[in-house]
Amino acid sequence: MYKILKSLLFQINPESAHHLTFSLLKLGKFLPFFTYFSGKSSVNLHPSLAKNVFGLNFRNPVGLAAGLDKDAIAFNELGDFGFGFIEIGTVTPKPQPGNDKPRLFRLPKNEALINRMGFNNHGVTEAAKKLRNRKDKTLIIGGNIGKNKLTSNEDAVNDYIICFNELFDVVDYFVVNVSSPNTPNLRDLQEKEPLTKLLNTLQNLNLQKTNPKPILLKIAPDLTNTQLDDIIDIIKDTNIAGVIATNTTISREGLDYDASQIEKFGAGGLSGLPLTKRSTEVIRYLKQKSNNAFPIIGVGGIHSAEDALEKIKAGADLIQLYTGFIYHGPKLISDINKKLIKHD
């Protein structure tokens, strides 16, 4: 049934399809037939899938990556699909419209997307308000935080502090996003000195709380091995909980489109199958080079149960879906969990 729904949604532009899907999700509670699309299955609650990672109990290791539910609009409904955890955001202190449209493109030949959304969101306060309406307490919620476009890198730490404080009571873990390619100069914050300062500031604030939350860092797939070595050192020095590997890539290698078509898509982060190999390489490098020093959430190009298992074999403790979920639907969640049960 998802194939039929997808074929209809793919007839309209991606951003309109996104908003329509979320409208259907919110209506789902009133439309009994909508549960047919959900792919809900007891397999997603199989006891062998439960994992404790950075002190949190995940009912299964398959999560939804940030970017789909930026404003925490449908996290309850998305959780009903069988995800073990949902990551909302990226949110910023102030609402912002993001980059000019069009800014989201499908590349169906490669089961990929290119986006240059630019942290469009309604602001952290609105997201926090919605997250107080969490219905399923077993569903882990992550908060992905960033800076506003007009905030300079020198002042960026203040934006992250605002988001951290606003979300602290309504999320289970945090993700520091300095790796999106769609906010000017944001990736400069991945350099060792500014990143160490940012993470130390948040971790010091975190440790002042009576119940500190895990803080993770989301990194780009375009980092060199030398930069990945720096990331390992930073994680150890700041003692944050772990890494999400990886965000979207600025590379256009391996696409089944000619140069003029690729140029027409323009700038933005590429996600989907073209990222599968590189994200797995980054996971494996971090795990081996750090001697398994910290947990890793693997994301990037997971479009099948086999892709998910490959990430876990490379060293991912948990995995996240985004583009694969759009192309293959909720059944992908239960397919992955079935594979993991057999593998276990």
Q: Which residues of 43-75 are buried (b: 16+ CB within 10 A; e: fewer)?
A: bbebeebebebbebebbbbbbbbbbbbbbbbbb
Please identify which of the residues 179, 180, 271, 279 carries the catalytic annotation: 180
pLDDT value at residue 39: 47
pLDDT tens digit sequence for 299-317: 999 999 999 999 999 999 9
Q: What is the pTM assigned to this prediction? A: 0.96
DSSP string, 18-66: HHHHHHHHHHGGG-GGGHHHH---GGGG-GGG-EEETTEEESSSEEEPT
Torsion, Cα of 119, 146, 85, 200 (10° steps): 170
Angstrom distance (rounded) from CA 295 to CA 287: 8
**Amino acid in position 295:** P
Please state, in angstroms and rounded to a whole number, the distance separating the CA atoms of residues 298 and 245. 5
Domain 2-343, CATH number (from 3.90.1010.10, 3.40.50.2300, 3.20.20.70, 3.40.190.10): 3.20.20.70
Q: What is the DSSP string of 99-163?
A: SPSP-EEEEGGGTEEEE---S-BS-HHHHHHHHTT---TTSEEEEEE---TTS-GGGHHHHHHHH
- pLDDT at 42 exceeding the cut of 90: no
* Cα separation, 7 vs 108, whole angstroms: 12
Look up residue 224 and give its DSSP letter.
-
Query: How far, in Å, CA of 289 to CA of 96, rounded?
Result: 39
For residues 330 and 333, what is the distance between their CA atoms, to the nearest angstrom?
6
The dihedral sign for the CA sequence 330, 75, 274, 235? negative
Q: 130 near 73, Cβ under 8 Å?
A: yes
Domain locations along the chain: 2-343
Known catalytic residue at 180: yes
On whether the CB atoms of residues 217 and 199 are closer than 8 A, the answer is yes
**For position 127, what pLDDT does the model report?**
98
Q: Which two tokens stand for residue 341?
A: 């049960």
Give the three-state DSSP class for 217.
strand
Q: What pLDDT does residue 33 have?
A: 44
Distance CA 294, CA 241 (A): 7
What gap in Å lies between CA 36 and CA 30, rounded to an integer? 13
Read off the pLDDT of residues 259-291 as tens digits, 9 standing for 90 and up.
999 999 999 999 999 999 999 999 999 999 999
The torsion angle over the Cα atoms of residues 70, 211, 93 and 15, rounded to 10 degrees, is: 0
**334 pLDDT tier (thresholds 50, 70, 90):** very high
Residue 344 has pLDDT above 90, yes or no: no
- Position 40 confidence tier, pLDDT thresholds 50, 70, 90: low
Question: Is the predicted pLDDT of residue 38 greater than 80, yes or no?
Answer: no
